[in-house]
Amino acid sequence: MHPDLQELQEIVVTTAREELLPRFAKTSVDRKLDGSLVTEADIAMQRQLGAALMTRWPKYEFLGEELSAAEQARLLDTPNEGLWCLDPLDGTSNFAAGIPYFATSLALLVGGEAILGLVYDPHRDECFTAEKGRGAWLNGEPLGSRHYKRTLSEGIGLIDFKRLPSELAAKLVHKPPYSSQRSFGSSALDWCWIASDRCHVYLHGRQMLWDYAAGRLILEEAGGHSVTFEGEAVLRPELRPRSVAAALSEELFREWVAWLGIQVN
């Protein structure tokens, strides 16, 4: 039997309130070997939440973003009953700078598939959750049941330009197919804002497993669609980064990938 989603939510929310909110815009910052930022909040959140998960559900292994690459690879390569995949603080740069767009992202992977997903935004106290085959919710209210029908030219594009191929980025700048564009700085929340119809098409060139594992399931269970730039399914339980193009409605998704020239496999 899988973990109860409500119990899981209570553990994540409590830990985020204790470890993240008191440190918001007040934490020390270092750089990892890849140049990305890490704060004491990232480390404390991973340590406390990892301990809570391993205590409550000891049969599952635990992979966190702040583990070494060698340990992450070992966990992904070793057969297990299930694997927690955690980004303790997605949007670290925002968090350190005092920009209120960050989240904790947690997925449970079983047999290479995400079966539970949770993304918690402690600043807004918004908890996005999903269970494979059962649906997606925002603070307990179903996602995906209502969204306005719109064309690509009427939508808001949530576009991370930094990691896009230069030719594609230039095309989007000079001939944008949407009405307006945003970029906020937390991949996990980006997926959820697409799932909740706050933005309408999504594009990101490089996400790690812990960036997208929970958010992709939330969007999928809300009725949304996603694909890599190569036309493949986004989820792949490995350390290589994945690209993503996504939208909530099927019609808008088809229009978006057609404009991008993606052939869906």
Name the β-bridge partners of 219.
none
Pick left, alpha or beta for residue 261 (phi over 0 → left; psi -120 to 50 → alpha; otherwise beta): left
Residue from 215, 222, 223, 225 nearest 245 by CA? 225
Q: Are 224 and 260 in contact (CB under 8 A)?
A: no
Nearest to 67 by CA among 213, 216, 217, 208: 208
Whether 147 maps to a domain, the answer reads no
How many structural domains is the chain composed of? 2
CA 4 to chain centre: 20
Find the domain containing 230 and state its range: 152-260
Among 99, 116, 142, give the residue marking a domain's end: 142
Residue 11 lies in a domain: yes
129 shares its domain with 189: no
Task: Assess whether 166 and 120 both reside in one domain.
Answer: no
Q: Is residue 216 part of a domain?
A: yes
Q: Is 90 annotated as a binding residue?
A: yes
At 28 the pLDDT is 77
Q: Is 211 annotated as a binding residue?
A: yes
Shared domain check, 239 and 165: yes
Q: Per the annotation, does 197 bind a ligand?
A: no
118/15 same-domain check: yes
pLDDT at 35: 65
Is residue 229 domain-resident?
yes
- Amino acid letter, residue 195: A
**Residue 95: partners with Cβ closer than 8 Å, 6 or more residues away:** 20, 23, 24, 25, 27, 39, 41, 89, 102
The predicted structure's pLDDT at residue 195: 97
42 is in an annotated binding site: no
For residue 64, count CB atoms less than 10 angstroms from its CB and return exposed for 0-12, middle for 13-18, buried for 19 or more. Answer: buried
Is residue 37 situated within a structural domain?
yes
At residue 30, the pLDDT reads: 78
> In this structure, are 51 and 110 located in the same domain?
yes
Task: Please check whether residues 203 and 80 belong to one and the same domain.
Answer: no
Closest CA to 176 of 157, 197, 148: 157
132 and 22 within one domain: yes
* Coil, helix or strand at residue 12: helix
CATH of the domain at 187: 3.40.190.80
**What pLDDT is recorded for position 265?**
81
Q: What is the pLDDT of residue 36?
A: 76
| 113 annotated among ligand-binding-site residues | no
- Residue 102's pLDDT is 98
What's the pLDDT score for residue 50? 97
Give the CATH number of the domain where residue 20 resides.
3.30.540.10
Please check whether residue 225 lies inside any domain of the structure.
yes
Q: Is residue 137 part of a domain?
A: yes
The tens place of each residue's pLDDT in the chain, 265 residues long, gives 789 999 999 999 999 999 999 999 988 777 876 767 778 999 999 999 999 999 999 999 999 999 999 999 999 999 999 999 999 999 999 999 999 999 999 999 999 999 999 999 999 999 999 999 999 999 999 998 766 789 999 999 999 999 999 999 999 999 999 999 999 999 999 999 999 999 999 999 999 999 999 999 999 999 999 999 999 999 999 999 999 999 999 999 999 999 999 999 8
pLDDT of residue 29: 78
State residue 33's pLDDT score.
67
